[in-house]
Structure 1
């Protein structure tokens, strides 16, 4: 996790040093968002000896802001790896998603902003089961709604620090489970 935080800090500083113009949020512009954080899968672990519902995830997004607060975003989100076991049987799940959606950012002050997101996520859930030396794996993909809310702070005219939460669902053989990710990252306009 320290490596991810250091990488995000370096990217934010590099983007700030590289800023060529004052990117006014009221002007159309393109931006990238990189973030990492803690994810959680809401599953029922009754009857299992061990169950890890938390993982480390991240997302990478590209966006186009129209200059009126609205933006279109597309990217990738990885929600981490979740594990459960009972005796010699262990199961792991790794959900990831391709995301397309819209965002609206409201300026709370010159430096602070609040961003709401809504869209569609093409979520692929990979499952792997192990029992001693026997292993099996499977995956299933479904389109799910995704929503998010974030607060951001301007470090420079073109770089914002963003703390957000994103929520969607994973589905496997008709069983749906909610998942969310709280992440911290850098949003860089160019």
Structure 2
């Protein structure tokens, strides 16, 4: 099977239609369907980029493309969770419902990044709403803190970063890879911030 889920990409369509696959699936109709064995109307492909291939495959198989999309499930080992919990507890103290631990991730690319003034205003608002809140920054992979007035946690391996996300009572992140990673961890509470992109199109796959 060759499945072309790239919108308006001539090279992707060229590769799919000239492959030796028995099933050549792509979006479109009329002239746009030339060379495909299964052409899926645009309306059935949906908007979310990560869900398009799933919806297209379902449509090609005769399955309802609007059926619920199962969420991502990054299954962390108990040892990974324990190590992350120990790191967060060392930095902020043990879990306490009266003093929630909230992680902030300010890194994002281009116009998706919020400026320092936004984050400082958010920090002030959180502290005003919850006097005992405990805040920490998840430091980006480049190692330079963006919120230097907060204690920081450095996380490089992806699974370690995911476990740290799950150790907070809440993670607040700009539209970024870490936000998607947090959304894939079962049981993690997170909030994604979108200012330049449409969450219905670029939000986490199967987001809660």
Q: Aligning the two structures, in what range does the TM-score lie when normalised by the shorter sequence? A: under 0.3
TM-score by length of 2: 0.23
The structure that is helix-richer by fraction is 2
Q: Between Structure 1 and Structure 2, whose CA radius of gyration is higher?
A: 2
TM-score by length of 1: 0.24
